[in-house]
Amino acid sequence: MSTPLLEIEDLALSFAGVRALDGVTFSIDEGELFAVIGPNGAGKSTLFNCISGIYRPGSGSIRFGGTEILGTAPHRIAKAGIARTFQNVDVFPAMTVRECLLLARHQHLRSGALAGMIRWGRSAREERAALRRVTEVADRLGLGDLLGREVGPLPHGVQKRVELARSLCMEPRLLLLDEPVAGMNHEETAEMAATLSEVNSDLGITMLLVEHDMSMVMGISDRVCVLDFGRRIALDTPAAVVRDAAVIDAYLGGAL
Ligand SMILES: Nc1ncnc2c1ncn2[C@@H]1O[C@H](COP(=O)(O)OP(=O)(O)OP(=O)(O)O)[C@@H](O)[C@H]1O
Ligand SMILES: [Mg+2]
Pick from 171, 190, 211: which residue ends a domain?
171
Count of the separate structural domains present in the chain: 2
Q: Indicate which ligand has the atom closest to the C-alpha of 228.
A: 1
Question: Do residues 148 and 184 both lie within one domain?
Answer: no
Phi, psi of 231 (to 5 degrees): -110, 145
Is 5 found in the same domain as 76? yes
Please report whether residue 86 resides in a domain: no
141 and 204, same domain (yes or no): no
Question: pLDDT, tens digit, for every residue of 213-235?
Answer: 999 999 999 999 999 999 999 99
- Same domain for 69 and 188, yes or no, is yes
Are residues 207 and 164 both part of a single domain?
Answer: no
Q: Classify 40 as helix, strand or coil.
A: coil
- pLDDT (tens digit, 9 = 90+) per residue, 162-179? 999 999 998 899 999 999
Nearest-atom index, ligand 1, CA of 44 = 21
- The environment of the single-atom ion ligand 2, i.e. residues with CB closer than 5 A, is 44-45, 87
Among the candidates 171, 203, 221, a domain finishes at 171
Q: What is the CA radius of gyration of the chain?
A: 18
Q: State whether 146 and 253 are in the same domain.
A: no
Last residue of a domain, one of 171, 189, 212: 171
CA 70 remoteness from chain centre: 18
Helix (H) or strand (E) holding 131: helix 124-140
Residues flanking ligand 1, CB < 6 Å:
15, 18, 20, 38, 40-46, 87
**Average pLDDT in the 131-148 region?**
94
Are 177 and 256 contained in the same domain? yes
- What are the φ and ψ backbone dihedral angles of 203, each rounded to 5 degrees? -95, -10
Of the ligands numbered here, which is closest to the C-alpha atom of 42? 1
In a domain, 134, yes or no: yes
34-71 pLDDT, tens digit each? 999 999 999 999 999 999 999 999 999 999 999 999 99
Task: For residue 23, tell me if it sits in a domain.
Answer: yes
- 178 forms bridges with which residues in the sheet? 210
The residue range of the domain holding 161 is 92-171
Other beta carbons within 10 Å of 118: 10
Measuring from atom 24 of ligand 1, which residue has the nearest CA? 40
Q: Name the residue of 37, 45, 211 whose CB sits within 8 Å of the most ligand 1 atoms, as the mutation to test its pocket.
A: 45
For the CA of 212, the nearest atom of ligand 1: 25
The ligand whose atoms approach the alpha carbon of 177 most closely is 2
In a domain, 243, yes or no: yes
Same domain, 42 and 108: no
Indicate whether 108 belongs to any domain: yes
pLDDT at 126: 78
Report d(CA 112, CA 97) in Å as an integer: 20
Q: What is the mean pLDDT of residues 103-119?
A: 61
